[in-house]
Chains A and B, each alone.
Chain A
Amino acid sequence: MARFDSLIHQPVRLRLMAALHALAADEQVDFQTLRDLLDVTDGNLATHLRKLEEAGYVAVEKTFVGRRPRTYIALTPRGRQAFREHVQALQAILEQAATDDT
Chain B
Amino acid sequence: MNPTPVTPEEARRALEAADATARQMRRMLAHGGLPYFLWIWGTVWLLGFGATHFFGPHDPRTAWAWAILDTAGAVLSFAVGAWLSRRLRSPRGGALGLFWMAWLVYAALILYFARPLSEKQISLLIALFAMMGYVTSGLLYRSRWLVGLGLTVTVLIVLGYVAWPAGFDLWMAVLGGGSLLAAGTYIYYAWR
Contacts and interface: CB of A to CB of B under 8 A. Distances in A.
Interface of A: 4, 9, 11, 14-15, 17-19, 21-24, 26-30, 32-33, 37-38, 65, 70, 72, 87, 89-91, 93-94, 96-97
A94 B12 contact: yes
A93 B21 contact: no
Contacts of B26: 22
Given A9-B6, A93-B6, A94-B11, A38 B21 contact: yes
A90 B19 CA distance: 12
Interface residues of B, number: 27
Consensus secondary structure, chain B interface: helix
A91 B11 CA distance: 7
B11 A18 contact: no
A90 B21 contact: no
A70 B90 contact: no
B15 A21 contact: no
A65 B29 CA distance: 20
The 7 A-B pairs with the shortest beta carbon distances in the complex, nearest first, are A97-B8, A18-B18, A22-B25, A93-B11, A22-B22, A15-B21, A90-B11
Given A90-B15, A93-B8, A96-B2, A72 B21 contact: no
Nearest to B12: A94
Contact of A28 (B2, B7, B24, B88): B88
B14 A29 contact: no
Interface string B144-158: 000000000000000
Given A15-B17, A30-B88, A70-B86, A23 B25 contact: yes
Nearest to A98: B8
Given A19-B21, A21-B22, A28 B4 contact: no
B89 interface: yes
B22 A33 contact: no
Given A30-B89, A90-B15, A96-B8, 17 more contacts: A11-B14, A11-B17, A15-B21, A18-B21, A19-B21, A22-B22, A24-B90, A26-B90, A28-B88, A30-B88, A70-B86, A87-B15, A90-B11, A91-B15, A93-B2, A93-B11, A97-B2
